[in-house]
Structure 1
Amino acid sequence: MKTIKAKVQADNPVTESSLDKAIERGELRRKNSLQATAVTYLPPCLAVSFEDGSGVLLPVANYPEFDDFEGEELASLTVGYAGTALCHEGKDLHVSIAGLISASKPLMAMAASVVASRNGRQSSAAKSEAARANGKKGGRPRKVDVVLPVPTKKPS
């Protein structure tokens, strides 16, 4: 296990530039995270809406967290924790939206497919250079089937 020593920064003054950097980091983190804006109960599912206008339907029956909930309690769920959780104050419930989505095998399979597709399209400087070098040589070499000679038995 790797040990990381904490840095003591209690005496660092807050300046305009450090505040601007912190705000910038926060905005970047917000843009790259799951940000739900609303939850609606549409029997038998919860409809979770996100900042970009997309949404997902989660069947309540698939999640044991909601087993003892009635219809009006499901309808009174709210989005909390900066858009990352579904909350019900009366039942003291706080459930991660990412956790609910990751519990669904079809949604995770689709997410894995999307990530693989997106990662396959990414290009690095080394990949671009290799493509240019191959292009100068006439492109990717064709696969050639190599036929090995079949050994023959010698008469004894």
Structure 2
Amino acid sequence: MVYELSDAEIDAARERGEKLRTAAPEATAARFDPSSGRLVIDFANGATFMLPARTLQDLENATDDELASVEIEHGYALRWDRLDVDFTIPGLMGGVFGTAAYIAGKAGRTRSVAKAAAARENGRKGGRPRKATS
């Protein structure tokens, strides 16, 4: 059995599609800016989003040429075909720069003057305090 859509159903589907398109801005361009080291994503609504490219999992050691090969897929995702790396744009905008394990590992390696001083002080006291057992 073949079901044919009515003109009203087609018009309603188009209207729903247009509402979806404007509710979630569609990416129209993506590029790597080597002078700043950032990915720049432009949207149909005129907005632009930038982020440091080498903070993304599997792009830490990518060359400028490799990063410049970024492509947009379906207005929703970024793809580096040569590197076999993909990210959704909503995920990037939400701060998801890799897997949970990758992000946790990066957070633990944060370096600051205060953290280095605290580590030295803990070392003088014999290291990190042991966890209390109940």
Q: Does 2:123 align with 1:103?
A: no
CA contact (8 A) 1:86 1:95 kept: yes
Equivalent residue for 1:111?
none
Contact 1:38 1:48 in 2 (8 A): yes
Segments of 5+ residues of structure 2 without an aligned counterpart are 97-134
TM-score w.r.t. the length of structure 1 is: 0.54
What CA deviation, in whole Å up to 9, does each residue of 1:36-76 have, x standing for no partner? Answer: 11111112111111112221211013211312422111111
- Which residue of structure 1 lines up, in the alignment, with residue 120 of structure 2? none
Q: Deviations over 1:81-100 (max 9, x none)?
A: 2x111112223322101111
> Which of structures 1 and 2 has the larger relative contact order (alpha carbons within 8 angstroms, sep 6+)?
2
CA spacing shift, 1:61–1:92, aligned 2, 3 Å: closer
Runs of 4+, deviation exceeding 4 Å? none
* Equivalent position of 1:80 in the other structure: 73
Matched with 2:9 is 18
| Distance in 2 separating the partners of 1:34 and 1:27 | 11
CA contact 2:54–2:62 (8 Å) conserved in 1: no
- Which letter maps to 2:5? V
- Does residue 37 of the first structure (1) align with residue 33 of the second (2)? no
User: Structure 2 length normalisation: TM-score?
Assistant: 0.62
1:53 partnered with 2:12: no
Q: What are the Cα deviations for residues 72-121 of structure 1, in whole angstroms up to 9, with x where unaligned?
A: 1111101112x1111122233221011111117xxxxxxxxxxxxxxxxx
Match of 2:115 in 1: none
Gaps of 5+ in 1: 1-9, 105-156
Question: Tell me, what secondary structure is at the counterpart of 1:58?
Answer: strand
The count of aligned residue pairs is 94
